[in-house]
Amino acid sequence: MLKILVSISILMLLSCQEQPDKNIYTPPLIQNPIENNFYINREAKELSKKIEKIDNFKIQESSDSLVKFQAINEIASEKISDFIDCGTMNNEVYVNYINRIFDSSLKIKTIVEIQPLDIFSSKINLVSDYVFTSIETGTKWAFKTNESKMILVGTPAYGAEPYRECTSRNFLESQIIEELHK
């Protein structure tokens, strides 16, 4: 009889508790894409020198018709939200939420291609590949400049939308474009 009374008491206590707040995920505000394929009135050699001065950039390929540079950056976890936008979870920046709960990493591979058109102008193609990883769960978002990625999260928080979207803030790309126009 005592077991039944205890069970009923526990059941009544649990049924009187407030339901937990529903977790609310808000996707990123997709920004206008940047112009990452453009023409510039500068000689290719001059532009190449500017790229070489930017940290981590190394020539990957070079010919008379194309110079290709590459840089790989691994971003410290506390700085990831400066580079990508994955929306918010319960009014917390989702990237910070992932880092707080699971730890995270961000690897960015940036390619800059300079194609000389004549002695006074060049065509530039600039693309970054992003890989944002939730370290504990192994979930990865892989996306490029001006493209977002939506994935189904295997174990979303209770009551939360199971899809998450990530996109670039175009921070690196904007800095490179600005440097090329100086």
Over the stretch 124-157, which tens digit does the pLDDT of each residue have?
999 999 999 999 888 899 999 999 999 887 767 6
Assigned domain for 18 exists = no
Q: Is residue 92 part of a domain?
A: yes
* CA angle (156, 159, 162) in 5-degree steps: 35
Chain mean position to CA 39: 26
Host domain of residue 86: 34-181
Q: Is the residue at 3 inside a domain?
A: no
Query: Is 149 within a domain?
Result: yes
**Average confidence score pLDDT of the chain:** 86
Q: Indicate whether 67 belongs to any domain.
A: yes
Tally of domains within the chain:
1
| 24 inside domain | no
25-46: pLDDT as tens digits: 889 987 778 999 999 999 999 9
Give pLDDT tens digits for 52-75: 999 899 999 999 899 999 999 999
Residue 4 belongs to some domain of the structure: no
CA–chain centroid gap for 167, Å, is 5
Tell me how far apart the alpha carbons of residues 164 and 86 are, in angstroms, rounded to a whole number. Answer: 7
Q: What's the DSSP call for residue 78?
A: G
- 20 domain residue, yes or no: no
| Rounded Cα distance, 126 and 71, in Å | 11
How far apart (Å, rounded) are the C-alpha atoms in residues 94 and 91?
A: 8
What pTM was estimated for this model as a whole? 0.83
